[in-house]
Amino acid sequence: MTGVNAAVSVLIKDVKVTKEHRRLRRERKTVRAMVGLYCSHHHGTQGLCGDCSELASYADRRLDLCPYGSDKPSCAKCPIHCYRPDPREKMREIMRFSGPRMLIRHPWLAIMHLLDDRRAPPPLPSVKTRQTSDETPDTDRDKLAP
C-alpha cells in the first residue's frame, strides 16, 4: 500500500509543478499574442517588428524577475510596478488594443487572463533578490508601506 501512496504523492507533486509552469507559460504566451495582434495591425511586419519584439522580451524578463513567481497576480492587479515608464505605457496601449480582440483570436488565453484578473493579489513575498539582469527593477516598494 505504501508504494501506492508514494506513487500518488509523486503524482500530485508533479501535477502541481506542471500547473505552475503552465500558468507562467500561459502568461508569456498571452503577452506575446497581445503584442503580436497589436504589431500586425499597427506595424504590419511579418512576425514582430524590432520595437515590439524588444518589448516582448522585456516583458519576458520582467516575468522572470517577478518576486511572486508562479503565484503572480495579473499585472493589472499587481501592487509592484516593475515596468519602466516607457515600456509600461506601450504595454498599456497594447493591452487596450488587443484586450477585446483576444477574445476572438485567442479565446482560451483571454478567458484564463480574465480569470487571473479576478484573483486578489497574494501577500507580498519576502524580498528575494533574483536580480540577475543589469536593470534596476522599478519596484515602488516604499509606496506600498501601509
The minimum distance between CB 46 and Zn ion, in angstroms, equals 11
Site size toward Zn ion, by CB under 5 A: 4
- At 131, which helix (H) or strand (E)? none
Q: What is the C-alpha to C-alpha distance for residues 91 and 4, in angstroms, rounded to an integer?
A: 48
Q: Tell me how many degrees the CA angle 20-81-102 measures, rounded to the nearest 5.
A: 60
Nearer to Zn ion, 49 or 78 (CB): 49
The minimum distance between CB 16 and Zn ion, in angstroms, equals 37
Closest CA to 53 of 41, 67, 36: 36
The gap from C-alpha 124 to its chain's centroid, in whole angstroms, comes to 16
Q: What is the C-alpha to C-alpha distance for residues 66 and 107, in angstroms, rounded to an integer?
A: 26
Nearer to Zn ion, 35 or 110 (CB): 35
Nearer to Zn ion, 48 or 82 (CB): 48
Alpha helices in 43-140 (DSSP H): 50-65, 85-105, 107-118
The minimum distance between CB 62 and Zn ion, in angstroms, equals 18
Scanning residues 100 to 139, which ones bind Zn ion (CB under 5 A)? none
The minimum distance between CB 39 and Zn ion, in angstroms, equals 3
Nearer to Zn ion, 46 or 129 (CB): 46
Scanning residues 27 to 66, which ones bind Zn ion (CB under 5 A)? 39, 43, 49, 52
Q: What is the C-alpha to C-alpha distance for residues 85 and 138, in angstroms, rounded to an integer?
A: 9
Nearer to Zn ion, 68 or 97 (CB): 97
Are 26 and 98 in contact by the 8 Å Cβ rule? The answer is no
The minimum distance between CB 41 and Zn ion, in angstroms, equals 9
Q: Which residues bind Zn ion (CB under 5 A)?
A: 39, 43, 49, 52
